[in-house]
Each structure stands twice: as C-alpha cells, then as structure tokens.
A = this chain, B = another copy of it.
Amino acid sequence: MSDKVFVSADEVARKAGVSRSAVSRTFTPGASVSEATRRKVTAAAEELGYHVNQLARGLMRNESGIVCLIASDVATPYRSALLRELTLQLQVAGKVTMFVNTDRSDGSVDRALHQAIRYRADASIILSGLPDKSITQLCLRNGQRLVLINRDDDQPGPLRINLDDRDAAGRVVSAFLRAGCTRLAFANSEAGTPSLMAREQGFIAVAKEHGLDVIVERYGWTGYEAGKIVAQRMLTRKERPDAVFCATDLLACGFMDAARHQFSLSIPDQLCIVGFDDIEQASWTSYHLTTFAQPVDTIAREAVTWLVDGRKDTPDGQSLKLHADLVWRGSVRGG
C-alpha cells in the first residue's frame, strides 16, 4: 500500500495556478467559475490524472451518492433480472450501487442496513427479508430513504412496491375454468414469503367463489427441485389435478419436467399450468409456459425515481400496487 498516491485538488490548483476552491468549483456543477479558469483547471486535472475524492465530497455534502441493494438468492433468474434493472436505472440516475448479499438467516438484513448506515448510503432497497422495526426507524431518522419490494410491511416511511397478487390469482382461475379444468391445485414452497402466500390465498379464495376446492402442496425452498417434488406428491394422489398454478416459474419448470418425464402427461392436453415471474426459461421451447410477467422495469423505475428526486413533498413513501400481465404461451388450453 504505497502512500500518497492519489493526486489531490491542491496539486491541480498549484499546477493550474489557481486556488483550490477554483478546482473544487470546476467539478461542482452549477458553481461559479469563469470559462478561462475552468479550462486551465480541466487541463491540469487531465494531465495529472485527478479524480474527485467522493469520500471527501460525501463527507462534506452529507450525501454519498451510494444506494444500498439488499437481496438474497441473487443467482435466481427473477432476482438477477430485477437486480440488473435496478442497478441500470440507478446508474443513469447518477447513483452508485452498493450490493449486499444476505442469506435467509435472521439479522442478516439488519447487518446489511448497518453497513448502509456506516457508508452513509442515501437510500437502501430491500428485496429479501424484512428489517427490524428499530433498524427501519434508525435509517429513516438518519435521512436514509427505504424501498421495500414485494415485502408486505405496513410501517410508514419506506416506499412499498408490491404486485397485485390476488388479482393475478383471480385471472388464473378464470383461465383454468375457460379451459374446462375442474380440479385445481396450487404448488408452493415453504418459504412463506408474503407474495407467495398472497398468490396462494388469492387463488384459493377466488376458486371458492366458483365453488371449487384447491389442492395445495408446499415443499422446500422456491426452486426447480421443489417443483419436481411437489409434482410427484400431487400427481400420485388418488384424484390428480388437471390445472395447477405454480407460485413461481422455477417451481413450474420443475413441475412440468416431472409431469412429462415421470408421469408422461401431456401439457396442456392433460394438465394446464400457469407460473409467475416470466423468467427467461419460461419462454424456452421445452417449457413455453403461460405465466405472469413481473413489471421489472416499472418496479425499478418507480423505486429509483422516488429515491432520487424524492424531496420533502413525499417524505413518507406510499404503497404501490402494480399490475402483472398474463403472458399467454402454450401451457394452458385455449389461450
């Protein structure tokens, strides 16, 4: 670690023959500098390889330009897509993403938020888990804005972005009925995430309105393997369902593979399937899955705009409920 390596504004000022304030102002948009000095400064800066020290600037301005992204299971198709979109939009908004990978253990999110505070992040976006109330308060008290995505929480302050899962569930029932299905089922994991549970309960409720019971099966963590196992359990029942709504596309992919290769069922002729998320694999020929598209870009846009130009006018974030479009492919009869 060789010391004294970075060139500072002082050195630039000396080389350009101006004061250090002039250098500072040159790199501060909207500050008052004459065109002549600005040119001298930029020339000297270029030559010396000067770069504003954002640590120092953040210290002064009390605004680091950092936004903290907190998520688990980032290698998952849906998560990584959302992450991609968020970082992209943050970048165009001139923010910098600090990324924290949480596990599913308690306190993991809290630790992440503490890190965000230590680095004086301007805001944090939480995709997984739920922070302790006290930590939330701490963040808000420190002027840090908070966004919760797909986390059902009712404390005021953070912006909460959710999908209308119940509404989506209702549309699945209609689709299944239109396809002539009568034995409905819901495939879920044991994760118990708010959005997962909302889909399950919405589906059951709407089915009941039509006088139908729903077979529910849950297993393990929300992934491909769990989907296969849920399928094995459901399809060995005495009365096997003819339409299943999977809480997630990953579950659906596993379910389809088991249904086809272990039970030799033909989709959608003998079994209709609907997923959720519209991950890339849902469009692959082997699956061609009818599913709900998460409005990833809208989610990201809403989050970022609220964070960035959110001022006094919206101190408390409202609760946003977004609509998920049903993408018709080949896993349900009569699209």
A interface residue numbers (CB < 8 A to B): 1-3, 5-6, 49, 51-56, 58-59, 62-64, 66, 69, 74-77, 79-81, 83-84, 87-88, 91, 96-101, 114-115, 117-120, 138, 141-143, 224, 228, 253-254, 257-258, 261, 280-281, 284-287, 311
Partner of A101 from B64, B91, B98, B285 at Cβ < 8 Å? B91
Query: Interface centre among A5, A63, A285, by most B CB within 10 Å?
Result: A285
A54 to B59 alpha-carbon distance, docked (Å): 9
B91 & A84 in contact (Cβ 8 Å cutoff): no
B88 & A84 in contact (Cβ 8 Å cutoff): no
Nearest chain B CB to A74 CB, angstrom units: 5
Partner of A120 from B53, B62, B286 at Cβ < 8 Å? B53
Contacts of A53 in B (CB 8 A): 59, 118, 120
A117 to B64 alpha-carbon distance, docked (Å): 15
Partner of A280 from B69, B224, B261 at Cβ < 8 Å? B224
A69 to B98 alpha-carbon distance, docked (Å): 10
Contacts of A75 in B (CB 8 A): 77, 80-81, 83-84, 280
Partner of A49 from B64, B118, B138 at Cβ < 8 Å? B138
Partner of A142 from B5, B81, B99, B284 at Cβ < 8 Å? B5
Partner of A59 from B1, B59, B96, B311 at Cβ < 8 Å? B59
A197 to B331 alpha-carbon distance, docked (Å): 38
Q: List 7 A-B contacts (CB under 8 A).
A: A1-B63, A54-B120, A88-B101, A96-B100, A97-B100, A98-B98, A257-B285
Contact A87:B101 (CB < 8 A) given known A120-B54, A224-B284: yes
A99 & B80 in contact (Cβ 8 Å cutoff): no
Partner of A285 from B55, B97, B261 at Cβ < 8 Å? B261
B1 & A143 in contact (Cβ 8 Å cutoff): yes
B98 & A99 in contact (Cβ 8 Å cutoff): yes
Nearest chain B CB to A246 CB, angstrom units: 15
A55 & B49 in contact (Cβ 8 Å cutoff): no
Nearest chain B CB to A134 CB, angstrom units: 9
Nearest chain B CB to A91 CB, angstrom units: 6
Q: With contacts A1-B63, A51-B118, A286-B286 known, what are 12 further pairs, Cβ within 8 A? A: A53-B59, A53-B120, A55-B64, A75-B80, A76-B80, A79-B80, A80-B83, A91-B100, A97-B99, A99-B99, A254-B284, A261-B286
A59 to B54 alpha-carbon distance, docked (Å): 9
Partner of A74 from B1, B83, B284 at Cβ < 8 Å? B83
A96 & B74 in contact (Cβ 8 Å cutoff): no
A6 & B257 in contact (Cβ 8 Å cutoff): no
Nearest chain B CB to A76 CB, angstrom units: 8
Nearest chain B CB to A63 CB, angstrom units: 7
Contact A84:B97 (CB < 8 A) given known A55-B120, A284-B224, A286-B286: no
